[in-house]
C-alpha cells in the first residue's frame, strides 16, 4: 500500500477508466478485467494513475459546465 493512496475507487471513476482505456490505455482495461474486484492498486505505474485522475477531474469539470 502506498501512503496517501486512497483505497476507495468510485464506480464513476472505474467507468471513466474503462471508457478512457478503450481509447488509449488497453493495459488498464486488461487490469480491470483481470481483477473484477475493481482494485486499482494493481496498476503499478502511478504516473499513469495520476494522469487518469487529472483527466477524470477535467472530464467531471467539463460535464458540469455543459
| Domain range annotation of the chain | 11-65
Q: What pLDDT score was predicted for residue 16?
A: 76
pLDDT exceeds cutoff 60 at 4: no
20: which 3 cell numbers?
A: 478512457
pLDDT digit string, tens, across residues 15-61 = 777 776 666 555 666 666 776 665 555 455 556 777 777 777 777 77
pTM score of the predicted model? 0.30
Amino acid at each position: 500500500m502506498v501512503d496517501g493512496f486512497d483505497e476507495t475507487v468510485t464506480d464513476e471513476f472505474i467507468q471513466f477508466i474503462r471508457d478512457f482505456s478503450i481509447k488509449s490505455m488497453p493495459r488498464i482495461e486488461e487490469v480491470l478485467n483481470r481483477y473484477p474486484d475493481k482494485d486499482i492498486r494493481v496498476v503499478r505505474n502511478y504516473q499513469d494513475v495520476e494522469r487518469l485522475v487529472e483527466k477524470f477531474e477535467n472530464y467531471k469539470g467539463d460535464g458540469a459546465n455543459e
